[in-house]
């Protein structure tokens, strides 16, 4: 196929009629949750508030004004499109520029590759849109070997943030779905000293009274982290937590902190302690994890998993993954899906020990904007 050339172009928002087929075409490979968004976007007024969490003042127009199409002087039917839209946690997402074709039912995405110059101009238009919304970070996910899209992003000020490996747990519905393995210390002295203390997993929902505790934990686990270190210090903790809360379907019991308790004040603790706040009277938070639910797709998403520097190398990684699996299994989900920095070899070893398998790899590009501390 010949490439679309960026000559005599007009880049503008699509008409309401064009949106009726363009939105489903650009999200057709999405999840059931995305299908719900499609149905909503096509059925309500432009000024109606967007119902999913993220920003209480978003309207349909806010979500759609980053959708752009390309027309030429000889053909008013759109030939290409790009979609940038706001996302939870003061972020914005930019999709890949795509070719469009006119079919019997309206617009559809075509496999014709776009000319690099046209991709650059579409990305530039999405960048202009991103500067008008309140976001700390604009990001784009790129398939491996998509050199033109990567180049278009770089030419518009986005830099590669990380190469992510997407992983899946064993099938939790099967008898061996839980990786019940004895944690093996990598530093014998520190582990034996640690194991003399009592520890527990405690559900700590991100209610207002718990936010500072989560902020402290995140700051601790991000220290010297090998998982996407380029993002450390570039986003506010408040928006980071807000983004975690609005990933997938919020599940309160999926917010879990690993606590080391003072043995002089601790009795035998269960593996998981439920409570209205999860606040502790004594002890140290060693790490934690956050699970978001995807009930229509039958999986949990492990969106955060961190261990404080002083507790690393002591077997907590496999314990955390086992606890996450137990929780997901408890409410009937068959798998846990997660993503990890390809350069984070210690984390990849932990996932391998828990029998996680690699699904795919993608690169994430980003541009950061100033935020108020």
pLDDT of the chain along its 373 residues, tens only? 445 454 578 999 999 999 999 998 888 656 677 778 888 888 888 889 887 766 778 888 888 999 999 998 787 899 999 999 888 888 999 999 999 998 888 899 998 889 999 999 999 999 999 988 888 999 999 999 999 999 999 999 999 999 999 999 999 987 665 554 444 433 332 333 344 345 789 999 999 999 999 999 999 998 888 878 778 778 889 989 988 998 888 899 999 999 886 544 333 333 333 333 444 444 689 999 999 999 888 999 999 999 999 888 888 999 999 999 999 999 999 999 999 999 999 999 999 999 999 999 999 999 998 765 4
Q: Are residues 107 and 171 in the same domain?
A: no
Indicate the burial class of 17 (C-beta count within 10 angstroms; 0-12, 13-18, 19 or more): exposed
Q: Are residues 133 and 176 in the same domain?
A: no
Domain boundary among 124, 157, 190: 157
| 253 in any annotated domain | yes
pLDDT reported for residue 176: 62
| 248 in any annotated domain | yes
Q: Which of 20, 18, 19, 38 is nearest to 28 (CA)?
A: 38
d(C-alpha 116, C-alpha 97), whole Å: 10
Q: Are residues 245 and 267 in the same domain?
A: yes
Return all residues near 222 (Cβ < 8 A) that are at least 6 apart.
232, 306
pLDDT reported for residue 258: 93
CATH number for 92: 3.40.630
| 123 in any annotated domain | yes
CATH number for 356: 3.40.630.30
Q: Are residues 171 and 214 in the same domain?
A: yes
| 3 in any annotated domain | no
Q: Are residues 135 and 243 in the same domain?
A: no
Q: Are residues 132 and 178 in the same domain?
A: no
Domain boundary among 108, 127, 157: 157
Q: Are residues 206 and 96 in the same domain?
A: no
Number of domains in the chain: 2
Q: Are residues 134 and 255 in the same domain?
A: no
Q: What are the angstrom distances between the C-alpha of 21 and each of 25, 63, 104, 193? A: 6, 16, 11, 62
Q: Are residues 257 and 152 in the same domain?
A: no
Domain range enclosing 81? 9-157
């Amino acid at each position: 196929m010949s490439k679309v050339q960026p000559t005599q172009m007009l880049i503008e928002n699509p008409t309401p009629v064009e949106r009726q087929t363009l939105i489903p075409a650009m999200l057709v490979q999405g999840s059931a949750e995305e299908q719900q968004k499609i149905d909503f976007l096509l059925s309500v007024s432009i000024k109606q508030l967007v119902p999913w969490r993220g920003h209480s003042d978003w309207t349909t127009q806010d979500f759609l004004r980053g959708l752009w199409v390309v027309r030429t002087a000889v053909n008013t039917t759109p030939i290409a499109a790009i979609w940038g839209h706001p996302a939870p946690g003061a972020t914005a997402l930019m999709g890949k520029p795509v070719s469009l074709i006119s079919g019997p039912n309206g617009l559809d995405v075509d496999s014709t590759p776009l000319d690099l110059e046209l991709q650059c101009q579409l990305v530039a238009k999405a960048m202009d849109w991103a500067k008008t919304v309140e976001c700390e970070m604009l990001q784009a996910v790129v398939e491996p070997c998509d050199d033109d899209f990567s180049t278009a992003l770089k030419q518009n000020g986005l830099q590669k943030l990380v190469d992510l490996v997407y992983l899946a747990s064993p099938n939790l519905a099967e008898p061996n779905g839980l990786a019940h393995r004895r944690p093996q210390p990598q530093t014998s002295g520190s582990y034996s000293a640690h194991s003399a203390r009592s520890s527990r997993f405690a559900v700590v929902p991100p209610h207002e009274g718990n936010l500072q505790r989560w902020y402290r934990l995140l700051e601790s686990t991000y220290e010297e982290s090998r998982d996407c270190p380029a993002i450390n210090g570039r986003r506010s903790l408040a928006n980071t937590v807000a983004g975690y809360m609005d990933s997938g379907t919020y599940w309160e019991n999926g917010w879990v902190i690993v606590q080391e308790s003072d043995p002089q004040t601790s009795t035998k603790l269960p593996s998981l302690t439920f409570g209205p706040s999860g606040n502790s009277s004594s002890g140290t938070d060693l790490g934690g994890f956050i699970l978001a639910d995807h009930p229509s797709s039958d999986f949990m998403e492990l969106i955060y998993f961190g261990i404080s520097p002083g507790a690393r190398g002591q077997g907590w990684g496999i314990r955390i993954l086992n606890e996450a699996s137990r929780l997901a299994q408890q409410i009937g989900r068959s798998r846990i899906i997660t993503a990890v920095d390809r350069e984070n070899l210690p984390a990849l070893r932990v996932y391998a020990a828990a029998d996680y398998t690699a699904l795919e790899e993608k690169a994430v590009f980003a541009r950061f904007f100033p935020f108020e501390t």
